[in-house]
A and B are shown apart, each in its own frame.
Chain A
């Protein structure tokens, strides 16, 4: 349904290319296309408008250079990508540890944003770095939030301070305060306070959040937000900023297929950095935030890094190591490798979804192929490969007519299916060889993936030091006033 920005660019520019040089009028057409794509990605309307204006101005200033470049479309696209990455990572920084421990981290956010799960992930992450965190169960509202935190704490080996049962019983401010004292006595160097979800417009609960904040005097207040949120993101973020204040943002549920444009709005409107990203339900699905990954995601360029990581996690370490070794040694990619990859793919999730994460895979011919390559096809392919002997899998060149007929019979498929698989495999094999010599692009035929694990190009840099200009305009405030 949504056309990504990268597709829009392709379309807008193929029309322009015939016209030769770009004129300033062309730029405003492009700007409009960009705006629509940003809105489709859930960027707030005011933010999208301001952003597009900025792109237009910058492009206009360098229009001559753009026109001199061999690929003007790419030149402008690069400007967009750079600006986006700059905003997303502009004010980025690491967590601040207090001079006098414990460092107190307070989690806030809407109901269902993922605070409690995040508390566990953050605790584990900090613990893995040699800290001695403790969790405080101050969500006494949602039924069994306390139990949930206790279970999560236990699973990551972090103690949980939970003197009250919750389910509406107990005073969250008192728990938070006592928790800090407890943490000091027990010499924990970091305290993470989980709080109940609340609405931005709930004055009473916002007051409670302020009271908790004042009771624990946090070093970092983190605002936890679901990556799937839409236009309300700015209104609510502003309400939390005004209501309790926060120092940084954590994005959750980034393992889905939401574009995450709301994150752009939130950093832009509040000026607060995005610090962490949660990417799954396991306690280890948590990392620093990488602005360039989200930028390409918003642009619909595909999140190649996350794809590579998903692939890596779906394959067991041994298989991955085997692949990497083969690849480095220059050994050929065999049907056996192909089969293990298919199995890993199956574990990872829908094929079409996954391939959608590859840059370029969303456009034209590739997209069509993708749509045709459904998961049934995967099962079909798997059954064919499984009917081959080890020799055939290692060297498909031995596959003569009678062998193909046998395989077709064994797998209950048509000979033409076998033929088409062998053809596609050979194309993939060739591509693998090209990739090794650096000639191949990312656009592989469906089902013929690059070996997972080794495909992670070093395109992602962790957060960069501040470089951000502050921006004016606050539609969220306006909305609240009306």
Chain B
């Protein structure tokens, strides 16, 4: 039985019984194990204790909700011009897959989508996106291996405008936020696209298994390219992805989408209720 069901059963069984100190401790551990961060968790627990609702689950949910960003979770869309989305993040988080999944989602809604393979660095990254493009029947603009990623992105923007597409999604190479030259390169990709068309969204892909380092990732990516939203991937695994909520709290950048598998359809708009419940359902 999950932690909550157990606690709730307990409260219901013994009418008027209090949540004991050790119950709170158990909850605290569950939240720490979700990667919310140890300091933040003690704050959450304090907050939840203060709420003192009948229902511990709702106290906790409302405490956790106070960390959610109030910024819009809607993906930008423009009726009169191309909407451009950059997908960024550290290595291996699921950028290329998420690029494809987002394209598929938009395409299923009837929008015309063009992809740009601006990861010219990692071996076979371009081919990886091209394979997705072929599966989804979408145009993929690519350049030579080790070529300039900014010019691939620029060509992507030109092609998307040319073909009157609604969306351009730019996949970029994975980079650690600590490499300032690579972060500068990302800034340049953005600026070069903006010579042709505004960049409407920069989505940072965060792997649900990420620990406390996620905060640094988000802060530094936000500084370099003004991140507008998060994609939280690999939520189909055993990790709860609490770091994303900690990032929301710290940076106000909202989670916009979640990834739940390796298929094109394993992707959805973020739903706060389900996510928050997942955090403490041990």
Inter-chain contact B237/A40, CB cutoff 8 Å: no
**Does chain A have a CB within 8 A of B122?**
yes
Given A1-B250, A110-B237, A39 contacting B180 (CB threshold 8 A): no
B250 near A349 with CB under 8 A, answer no
Q: In the complex, which residues 70-96 of chain B have their Cβ closer than 8 Å to any Cβ of chain A?
A: 90-94, 96
- A467–B10 Cα distance when bound, in Å, is 45
Chain A residue contacts of B122, Cβ below 8 A: 148, 281
State whether B2 touches A45 (Cβ < 8 A). no
Q: Is the interface of A mostly helix, strand, loop or mixed?
A: loop
- Chain B residues lying within 8 Å of A235, measured Cβ to Cβ, are 238-239
Contact of A230 (CB < 8 Å), options: B3, B212, B236: B212
- Residue-wise, chain A 187-226 has the 8 Å CB interface mask toward B (1 for contact) of 0000000000001110000000000000000000000001
CA distance A375 to B224 in the complex (A): 13
Are A232 and B238 in touch, CB under 8 angstroms?
Answer: yes
Q: Give chain A residues whose Cβ lies under 8 Å from the Cβ of B248.
A: none
Can you list, as one digit per residue, whether each of A270-283 has a CB less than 8 Å from chain B (1) or not (0)? 00000000000100
Min CB distance B133 to A, Å, is 10
The number of A-B residue pairs with CB atoms under 8 Å apart is: 159
- The reply on A482 being an interface residue by CB < 8 A is yes
0/1 string, B161-183, CB within 8 A of A gives 1:
00000000000000011111100
Interface of B is mostly: loop
The reply to whether A143 and B29 contact each other, CB–CB distance below 8 Å, is no
Cα distance A44–B124 in the bound complex, in angstroms:
35
Q: Given the interface contacts A201-B238, A230-B239, does A36 sit within 8 Å of B212 by beta carbon?
A: no
B209 proximity list for chain A (CB < 8 A): 110, 226, 229-230, 232-233, 236
CA distance A348 to B93 in the complex (A): 24
- How distant is the Cα of A144 from the Cα of B122 in the complex, in angstroms? 12
CA distance A255 to B181 in the complex (A): 14
In-complex Cβ contact of B131 among A112, A143, A258, A349 (8 A):
A143
Q: Which A113-168 residues have a C-beta within 8 angstroms of B?
A: 113-114, 141-145, 147-148, 150-152, 155, 167
Q: How many residues of B contact A (CB 8 A)?
A: 53
Per-residue 0/1 for B1-36: is the Cβ within 8 Å of any A Cβ (1 yes, 0 no)? 111000000000000000000000000010011110
Which residues from 219 to 276 on chain B have a C-beta closer than 8 Å to any C-beta of chain A?
234, 236-240, 243, 250, 262
Judge whether B128 is part of the interface by a CB distance below 8 angstroms. Answer: yes
Known contacts A110-B237, A201-B237, A230-B243: does B91 contact A281 (CB below 8 Å)? yes
Q: Does B201 contact A (CB under 8 A)?
A: no
Q: Are A1 and B215 in contact (CB under 8 A)?
A: yes
Q: Are B35 and A144 interface neighbours, CB within 8 A?
A: no
Asked if B212 and A255 sit within 8 Å, CB to CB, the answer is: no
- Inter-chain contacts of A482 with B (CB < 8 A): 1-3, 282
B262 touches A167 (CB 8 A): no
Instruction: Specify which chain B residues have a CB less than 8 angstroms from the CB of A152 in the assembled complex.
Output: 123
State whether the Cβ of A479 lies closer than 8 Å to any Cβ in chain B.
yes
Contact residues in B for A349 (Cβ distance below 8 Å): 178-181
Is A259's beta carbon under 8 Å from chain B?
Answer: yes
Residue ID in chain B nearest A148 by CB atoms: B124
- List 23 contacting pairs A-B, 8 Å CB cutoff, sorted by A: A39-B32, A42-B35, A110-B209, A111-B234, A112-B92, A112-B234, A114-B91, A143-B132, A155-B123, A201-B237, A228-B213, A229-B209, A230-B209, A231-B239, A235-B238, A255-B176, A256-B213, A257-B178, A259-B212, A261-B211, A349-B181, A482-B1, A482-B282
A residues adjacent to B (C-beta < 8 A): 1-2, 36, 39-42, 44-45, 110-114, 141-145, 147-148, 150-152, 155, 167, 199-201, 226, 228-233, 235-236, 239, 253, 255-259, 261-262, 281, 347, 349-350, 353, 375, 479, 482
